[in-house]
């Protein structure tokens, strides 16, 4: 698989380490009420779709950036890739 | 139809005209007491034990394709019970004991071959860990022997003992481990279940659950609605997408694991040999092909095929431990989809929906567990209580902090 890195262009997937579901970006607030149950879900439960999946890939043997890669888990087709930092900033309402 | 030596001779003398199909091919009835979703090893074994041991009637197995088309037909056929943790080891030893009596019990040749499973070690620390594992196995009633380098050399002189990075210092041997003809297991359980009145319904895909007030009423299928008092889901790598229809998120990711087979060779490998440090395992089939595999591809996949980098990685692992494998030509490679759970251990439990039960999360190890998984799941379905050996496999163990983390890598399924 080739991953279209937004800064570096097409890179071999072997340069990356896979983490999983991109929802891991949305880390819950550990001090909020009911944080224990929310964290159990956050750490252990996963969306596991057959089809389009947003996931985190770490460019470990490259520029060490985290990417959010949108990929089809049935065909292995990669639809898009963006910097995880941009996705996280957008989630917090920051400029990105 | 009972199989026996007498029967074989009789058929040989009368032109083999008396053999019959091993199971019926019935249409679905409007409702059942028990529906098992998934006509693979675990689903068929569940139906078999439900019908036989627990004396229940009106059972159906629904399979979207044909029986045994999933992981029971796509694995490397190894059986063993060399686990460490208390939640795991008694369960896999129970499975091993069921394997040992299986062929006599269901009167079907599954070619169970207890030729030994040898795990190699390469450092003093790994030897100590294997000694501990061997002791845990002995305590659970299994067998284990710790071999030194000379012991391994006597069994498998062809290994690369002087590898610069992983010199072989010995191995942990379970002589009762071995291999089984995987399709034979599916066919044997299917035949046994059919003989006890279970309807095995093929080409019947479950497309939804009918749930009212937190209770299951039945399943929608490609062949119409079928009512059920209890529904058990045993769909291996498809757990995520099936349980999504019941609105459940699970501690599971689906990954692809590849396996490989070479051309047929004369007998060269005495049993199963595993090279955990490089993650490579190999055995020889009865037809002579070397059957081997290695790591997951490492990312979520439903493709039932792998990618080339892992093929290269597995071949490198094979060459490192067993250089002579380089002379064999690779015939085929294939991929199976498996549930990688968040602690690497399975789940056999009821769900929060009354009447809906789950058997999932088998990671690499579903095949060897087939008999015990079926037995324990049948026990759960029939009695609403977990089987003694499967008490640790609860769905809520993650939230409670009672994970069974055999490899000690935490909630990282691609590392298990």
Rg of chain A, C-alpha, whole Å = 14
Range A6-30 average pLDDT: 95
pLDDT at B250: 96
pLDDT(B344) > 80: yes
Tell me whether B413 touches chain A (CB under 8 Å): yes
B304: confidence class by pLDDT, cuts 50, 70, 90: confident
Range B228-238 average pLDDT: 97
Interface probe with B: pick from A46, A49, A55, A71, most Cβ of B within 10 Å? A46
Of A1, A47, A73, the CB nearest to B307: A1
Tell me whether B254 touches chain A (CB under 8 Å): yes
Searching chain B, which residue's CA lies closest to the CA of residue A50?
B302
Flag the least confident range among A72-86, B16-30, B123-137, B402-416. B402-416
What is the share, in percent, of chain B residues with pLDDT greater than 90?
94
Per CB-CB distance under 8 Å, the chain B contacts of A70 are none
Tokens 């279209």 belong to A4
B350: confidence class by pLDDT, cuts 50, 70, 90: very high
CA distance A86 to chain B (A): 22
Is there a contact between B359 and B372 (Cβ–Cβ < 8 Å)? Answer: no
pLDDT(B209) > 90: yes
Of A40, A50, A53, the CB nearest to B398: A40
Nearest to B360 by CA among B268, B202, B260, B232: B232
CA distance B415 to chain A (A): 10
What phi, psi does A18 have (nearest 5°)?
Answer: -95, 135
pLDDT at A95: 52
Q: What is the pTM of this model?
A: 0.95
User: Per residue in B102-114, pLDDT tens?
Assistant: 999 999 999 999 9
**How many residues are there in chain B?**
416
User: Per residue in B11-47, pLDDT tens?
Assistant: 999 999 999 999 999 999 999 999 999 999 999 999 9
Tokens 């009167």 belong to B107
| Reported ipTM | 0.93
pLDDT at B54: 80
pLDDT(A92) > 80: no
Tell me whether B344 touches chain A (CB under 8 Å): no
Per CB-CB distance under 8 Å, the chain B contacts of A40 are 398-399
Mean pLDDT for all residues in chain B? 95
If you average pLDDT over each of A90-94, B56-60, B211-215, which comes out highest?
A: B211-215
Per CB-CB distance under 8 Å, the chain B contacts of A50 are 238, 240-241, 254, 302
pLDDT at A96: 46
pLDDT(B249) > 90: yes
Cβ neighbors of B329 (< 8 A, separation 6 or more) are B262, B263
Tell me whether B399 touches chain A (CB under 8 Å): yes
pLDDT at B306: 86
Helix (H, G, I), strand (E, B) or coil at A84: helix
pLDDT at B356: 98
What is the share, in percent, of chain A residues with pLDDT greater than 70?
96
Range B250-256 average pLDDT: 96
Interface probe with A: pick from B245, B253, B304, B360, most Cβ of A within 10 Å? B253
CA distance B353 to chain A (A): 18
Q: How many CB pairs under 8 A join A and B?
A: 68
Range B173-180 average pLDDT: 98
What is the share, in percent, of chain A residues with pLDDT greater than 90?
92
pLDDT(A94) > 70: no
pLDDT(B151) > 50: yes
């Amino acid at each position: 698989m080739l991953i279209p890195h937004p800064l570096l262009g097409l890179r071999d997937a072997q340069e990356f380490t896979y983490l999983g579901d991109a929802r891991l970006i949305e880390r819950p607030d550990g001090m909020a009420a009911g944080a224990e149950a929310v964290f159990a879900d956050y750490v252990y439960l996963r969306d596991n779709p057959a089809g389009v999946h947003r996931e985190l890939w770490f460019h470990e043997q490259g520029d060490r950036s985290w990417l959010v890669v949108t990929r089809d888990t049935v065909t292995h087709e990669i639809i898009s890739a963006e910097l995880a930092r941009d996705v996280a900033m957008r989630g917090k309402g920051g400029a990105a | 139809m009972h199989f026996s030596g007498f029967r074989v001779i009789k058929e040989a003398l009368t032109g083999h005209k008396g053999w019959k199909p091993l199971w019926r091919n019935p249409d679905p009835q409007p409702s059942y007491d028990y529906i098992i979703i998934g006509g693979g090893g675990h689903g068929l074994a569940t139906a078999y034990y439900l019908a036989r041991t627990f004396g229940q009637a009106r059972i159906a197995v629904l399979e979207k394709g044909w029986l045994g088309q999933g992981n029971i037909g796509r694995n490397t056929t190894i059986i063993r019970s060399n686990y460490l943790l208390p939640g795991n080891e008694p369960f896999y030893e129970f499975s091993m004991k069921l394997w040992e009596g299986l062929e006599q019990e269901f009167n079907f040749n599954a070619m169970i071959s207890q030729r030994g499973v040898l795990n190699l070690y390469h450092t003093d620390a790994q030897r100590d860990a294997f000694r501990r594992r061997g002791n845990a196995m002995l305590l659970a009633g299994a067998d284990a022997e710790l071999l030194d380098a000379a012991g391994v050399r006597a069994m498998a002189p062809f290994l690369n003992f002087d590898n610069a990075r992983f010199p072989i210092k010995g191995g942990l041997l379970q002589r009762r481990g071995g291999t089984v003809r995987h399709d034979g297991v599916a066919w044997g359980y299917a035949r046994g279940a059919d003989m006890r009145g279970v309807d095995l319904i093929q080409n019947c895909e479950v497309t939804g659950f009918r749930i009212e007030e937190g209770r299951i009423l039945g399943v929608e299928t490609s062949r119409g609605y079928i009512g059920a008092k209890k529904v058990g889901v045993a769909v291996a790598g498809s757990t995520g997408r099936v349980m999504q229809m019941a609105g459940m998120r699970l501690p599971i990711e689906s990954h692809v694991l590849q396996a490989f087979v070479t051309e047929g060779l004369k007998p060269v490998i005495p049993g199963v040999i595993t090279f955990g440090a490089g993650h490579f395992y190999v055995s020889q089939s009865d037809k002579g092909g070397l059957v081997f595999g290695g790591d997951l591809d490492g990312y979520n996949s439903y493709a039932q095929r792998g990618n080339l980098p892992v093929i290269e990685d597995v071949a490198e692992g094979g060459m490192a431990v067993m250089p002579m494998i380089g002379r064999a030509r690779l015939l085929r490679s294939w991929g199976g989809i498996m549930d990688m759970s968040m602690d690497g251990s399975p789940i056999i439990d009821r769900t929060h929906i009354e009447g809906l039960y789950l058997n999932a999360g088998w990671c690499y190890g579903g095949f060897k567990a087939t008999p015990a998984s079926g037995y324990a799941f049948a026990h759960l379905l029939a009695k609403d209580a977990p089987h003694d050996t499967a008490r640790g496999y609860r769905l809520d163990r993650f939230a409670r902090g009672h994970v069974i983390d055999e490899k000690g890598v935490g909630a990282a399924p691609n590392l298990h």
